Amino acid sequence: MKFTKLGRSGLKVSRICLGTMNFGTKATEEDSHAIMDRALELGINFFDTANRYGVEIENGYTESIIGRWIEKTGNRDKIVLATKFFGPMGPGANDEGLSLYHMRSAIDASLRRLKTDRIDLYQMHHIDRGLPHFKSPATYLGGDHSKLVYPPHLRPGTTWDEIWQGYAQLITAGKVLYAGSSNFAAWNVAQANERAASRGMFGLISEQSKYSLVTRQVELEMVPVCREYGVGILPWSPLGGGVLAGDSLNDGNGRRAGNEYDAETAAKREQFSRLCRSLGEEPPVVALAWLLHNPVVTAPIIGPRTIPQLESAVRAIDLSLDEATMSAIDTIFPGPGDQAPEAYAW
């Protein structure tokens, strides 16, 4: 396994991050525990989850699965544990968002479920533009709250002063070590870190962005701003929702999952598969290796449902892509061409 520092921090994490969104929903608890066992054996020390994962079954279900694994194995201090908060965890007006009120209740609930005394990387799952971000908490929790409307004065998002005050309190209490973000815009990352610096705080060290060969918009502004502020990018959906998965994802009966694509995507997918065959490697391995060639990327977040998928992903760490291969990949999946504004203006 290879390790790198997460953003500008001194925290060392594996170049692959184990994502757990499938735990409990697409992987049983037993299989999820086996995947975490194997991840540690392979040297992966970076585990990512969220309090919303598994909410289809019950609130915090995936965190609870991880907590029972930590309790059973005693492996808490062998991993860098990351989780996220923001989305609705109850029907109340304060059961979502980035307010200090919700932050304190969310962290305590996550700590109980994860059976730990701290979260190493506590991430805002989305920027807080004001309630309701979702139609209503009931949209995701069941029940008919379709007519629920928040008063206009609640619509502005939580201020950075309040957010960083909340983080300061959690860090002082030893419940959180580092702050991260997810699904932010580039200007949100800049604003967050400038406001943190004005308070003498370290600020964000990571940003989870949707980033893959088929989703390269982050190269316009997110990649440059993260490079400038020393924020490590943690790409989620690094296989483009299955487009780059090749034959590695199937429904358990040998049939390829997610194989319904439009003609253009299908053609690109086939070109990419041919290129990967010429390299003697599987498409998901090459797709992950391509991300790892970006120096701003700390670790792609993989979401294996099986141990073979996990083991395949780890091979990407040692796969070096030469300039000709990188150029060929760019031809198949062209990005914006440059950062903004050069990508669209002189």
pLDDT confidence of residue 135: 45
Given the structure tokens 């694994």, which residue do they identify?
69
- Which domains, from first to last, does the chain contain? 3-332 (3.20.20.100)
Distance CA 175, CA 98 (A): 16
| Phi and psi, residue 41, nearest 5° | -60, -35
pLDDT in tens, the chain (346 residues): 999 999 999 999 999 999 999 999 999 999 999 999 999 999 999 999 999 999 999 999 999 999 999 999 999 999 999 999 999 999 888 999 999 999 999 999 999 999 999 999 999 999 998 755 444 444 444 444 444 454 444 455 899 999 999 999 999 999 999 999 999 999 999 999 999 999 999 999 999 999 999 999 999 999 999 999 999 999 999 999 999 997 654 433 333 444 567 899 999 999 999 999 999 999 999 999 999 999 999 999 999 999 999 999 999 999 999 999 999 999 999 999 999 999 999 8
Please give the pLDDT value at position 262.
84
CB 65 within 8 A of CB 58: no
Instruction: Tell me which residue has tokens 């982050």.
Output: 218
Query: What is the pLDDT, as a whole number, of residue 131?
Result: 53
What pTM value is reported for the model?
Answer: 0.90
CA distance readout (Å), 226 to 12, 34, 48, 122, 245: 18, 34, 20, 18, 27
Closest residue by Cα to residue 303 from 64, 60, 72, 26: 26
Write out the H or E segment, with its range, that includes residue 187: helix 186-198
Residues involved in catalysis: 53
Cβ contacts of residue 88 below 8 Å, gap of 6+?
95, 96, 134, 136, 137, 139, 140, 141
